Each structure stands twice: as structure tokens, then as C-alpha cells.
């Protein structure tokens, strides 16, 4: 028998004056009501009621216990209601780590929409390409692109990030369009040092094997948008994520090359500390992001 059930029955019996009335209030039988109160008296080692064939009255200890336990039960019920209300209308602070460029270009409007929809949730978002220590730095959630190395975190794949190789049409007219990855050695390659191995660009061979091709070039940036600007300016060939290249490709500022050997897509992941019960606000954001990327997949 649960202690809370015993306490609730005791309070009902004292307030209503009989086991029958208390049993009716709590939806059980008179016999069960009597058992619950007896079990409580056994646990406490005291007599809470004076019983006779005609009357049921609380002892002095019973009255004192009632005053305390009534307050505790009301506080417990208020806490229970508050938690359930939070589940229905989530509230609290979410500290999030997101990649710099992807965060500003892609995630910002999604997070703004999430904040508009859930006005009681506070968002504290850190934009950085430096991999944050999620646990030590107190993040509730981190968004990451690429291969994962921290096995202590729970990862949920949200989407794919496709990587393309592209150059400006006037660069290709001047220096030629490479038809195979082995021709990249004759070209200026614009290097994004945010990639795990920026000096080798992966391609998939006809046999399905991933081949890491060494590249060279005089321009190296730790910023994807700078790589795009250099490519648009005709300064070389760039390796770019699709969310950065899309607008320039649409305008015709750059052209895709070596598409037949495009590398496998990278994963977009939501990472969070392992816990038996994930906070509702965190799960809500993860589900919101997953739904967004699923609905915009192409």
C-alpha cells in the first residue's frame, strides 16, 4: 500500500467522520479504507483514531498529525499540478550550442519560430564552431554536423547535410572544368579549415569507395561564407555545404562540378546528456527541429 494513499485516506476519514464516507470520496470500499488507516498507524507506531461501535474520533496525536500531513499533501498536489501544467505549457531556460554559420543561416529562423510558439521558454543560444563540452559547460542541447566522437552523449539524427564542389563559371572558362577528382591538383582549391581534414577532399569512386584527394591552394578560411565569396570572385574551387551554396547556385554565381563523385552526406545531430528522463522542454525543441528538417528535406 502506498504511503500517500494511506495519508489521503486518513485525512478523508478525519474530515468526514467515517470510513464509509471517506471510501466514497476516494472511490474505494469501507474495508479498504479501514486497512489503509490501520497500515498508517502501524507504520507510525501510534493510534490515530479512537474506535468504538458508535463513534470514531481522532486522538491528540491524530489531530497533530492531520495538521502537518494536510499541509504536505496540499503542497504535493500543488507540485504535481505544476509539473503537469509545465508539460502542457513548457517553461524554463534552454541553453543551446549551435555551429556558427549553420546556426545563423539555418537555425536562427527555426529557433525564433520555436520561441514565438512557446513564450514561456527562455532560449540561451551560443553560436560557435568550437565543439562545446555539453556537460561541463551546462548545455541542455548541442547541434552538430559531421562525425560524432563523444559517446557519452545521446545523439538524434535530424537531417543530412550535403557537401558540394563548385566554382564560378568565369573561373572554369579560364582554367577549365575538372572532369575527375585527380584533375584538382591543377587547380586552386579554396580550403575551409572548419572541416575535420580540410587538406583532403572526399569523393566516392565508381566502386563505392571513399577516396580522400589531397588539394592545394593559396586561400584558407575558417569561415564557410568567406570560402563562398572567394569562389564567386573566381579565385578557385570551393567545397561547400548545400545550405551555404544554394543561393549562389540558384543565381548562377557558381556551378557544381564533379557531381558524379559527390561525397556521402554528413549528419546533422542533436546531442544531449544521457538521462533517464529528458526534460520536456528539451524534448520539445528536438522534436520541433526534427519536424522542421523532415518537412524541408529535398
All cell numbers assigned to 254: 557558381
- Res 172: pLDDT: 97
| 169: nearest Cα among 257, 239, 262, 245 | 257
Which of the listed ranges 1-15, 34-48, 132-146 does the model predict with the highest average pLDDT?
Answer: 34-48
Give CA–CA dist 97/271, Å, rounded: 10
Using N-to-C axis directions, what is the helix angle for 242-251 and 224-232, rounded to 10°?
20
Q: Which residues of 124-163 are buried (b: 16+ CB within 10 A; e: fewer)?
A: ebeeebeebebeeeebbbbbbbbeeeeeebeeeebbebbb
> What is the number of residues in the chain?
298
**What's the pLDDT score for residue 10?**
92
C-beta separation of 132 from 110 below 8 A:
no
Please tell me the distance from the alpha carbon of residue 57 to that of residue 49, in angstroms, as a whole number. 5
Q: What does the pLDDT read at residue 117?
A: 92
- Mean pLDDT over all residues of the chain? 89
Q: Which residue has the higher pLDDT, 51 or 164?
A: 164
- Helical packing angle, 60-88 and 3-16, nearest 10°: 120
* Mean pLDDT within 144-173: 88
**The C-alpha cell that represents 195 in the structure block:** 572541416
Residue-wise pLDDT for 13-50, tens only, equals: 998 889 999 998 888 898 999 999 999 999 999 999 99
Over range 110-124, report the average pLDDT: 94
Stretch 161-188: mean pLDDT: 95
- For 177, half-sphere exposure in the C-beta direction (CA atoms, 13 angstrom radius) is 14
H or E element at residue 270: strand 266-273
Look at residue 77 in the predicted model and tell me its pLDDT: 79
Q: Which residues contact 62 (CB under 8 A, 6 or more apart)?
A: 10, 14, 46, 47, 48, 49
Residues 48 and 22 sit within 8 Å (Cβ to Cβ) = no
State pLDDT tens for residues 52-103: 877 889 999 999 999 999 989 888 877 776 676 566 678 889 999 999 899 9
Asked whether residue 284 carries a pLDDT value surpassing 80, the answer given is: yes
Task: List C-alpha distances in Å: 46 to 23, 37, 52, 196, 207.
Answer: 22, 11, 17, 69, 81
Q: Express each pLDDT in 199-251 by its tens digit.
A: 999 999 888 899 999 999 999 999 999 999 999 999 999 999 999 999 999 99
Average pLDDT over residues 102-119: 94
pTM to 2 decimal places: 0.67
Amino acid at each position: 500500500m502506498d504511503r500517500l494513499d494511506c495519508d489521503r485516506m486518513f485525512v478523508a476519514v478525519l474530515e468526514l467522520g467515517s470510513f464509509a464516507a471517506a471510501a466514497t470520496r476516494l472511490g474505494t470500499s469501507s474495508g479498504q479504507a479501514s486497512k489503509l488507516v490501520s497500515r498508517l498507524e502501524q507504520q507510525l507506531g501510534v493510534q490515530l483514531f479512537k474506535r468504538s461501535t458508535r463513534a470514531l474520533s481522532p486522538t491528540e496525536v491524530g489531530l497533530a498529525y492531520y495538521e502537518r500531513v494536510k499541509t504536505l499533501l496540499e503542497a504535493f498536489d500543488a507540485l504535481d499540478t505544476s509539473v503537469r501544467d509545465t508539460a502542457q505549457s513548457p517553461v524554463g531556460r534552454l541553453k543551446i550550442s549551435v555551429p556558427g554559420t549553420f546556426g545563423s543561416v539555418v537555425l536562427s529562423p527555426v529557433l525564433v519560430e520555436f520561441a514565438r510558439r512557446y513564450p514561456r521558454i527562455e532560449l540561451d543560444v551560443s553560436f560557435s564552431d568550437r565543439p562545446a563540452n555539453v556537460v561541463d559547460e551546462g548545455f541542455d542541447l548541442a547541434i552538430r554536423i559531421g562525425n560524432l566522437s563523444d559517446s557519452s552523449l545521446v545523439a538524434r539524427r535530424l537531417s543530412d547535410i550535403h557537401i558540394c564542389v563548385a566554382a564560378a563559371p568565369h573561373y572554369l572558362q579560364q582554367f577549365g572544368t575538372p572532369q575527375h577528382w585527380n584533375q584538382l591538383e591543377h587547380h586552386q582549391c579554396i580550403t575551409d579549415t572548419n572541416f575535420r581534414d580540410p587538406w583532403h577532399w572526399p569523393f566516392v569512386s565508381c566502386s563505392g569507395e571513399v577516396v580522400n584527394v589531397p588539394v592545394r591552394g593559396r586561400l584558407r578560411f575558417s569561415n564557410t561564407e568567406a570560402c563562398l565569396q572567394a569562389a564567386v570572385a573566381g579565385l578557385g574551387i570551393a567545397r561547400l555545404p548545400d545550405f551555404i551554396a544554394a543561393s549562389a547556385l540558384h543565381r548562377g554565381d557558381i556551378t557544381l562540378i564533379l557531381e558524379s563523385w559527390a561525397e556521402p552526406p554528413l549528419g546533422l545531430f542533436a546531442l544531449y546528456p544521457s538521462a533517464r528522463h529528458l526534460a520536456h522542454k528539451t524534448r520539445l525543441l528536438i522534436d520541433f527541429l526534427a519536424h522542421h528538417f523532415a518537412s524541408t528535406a529535398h
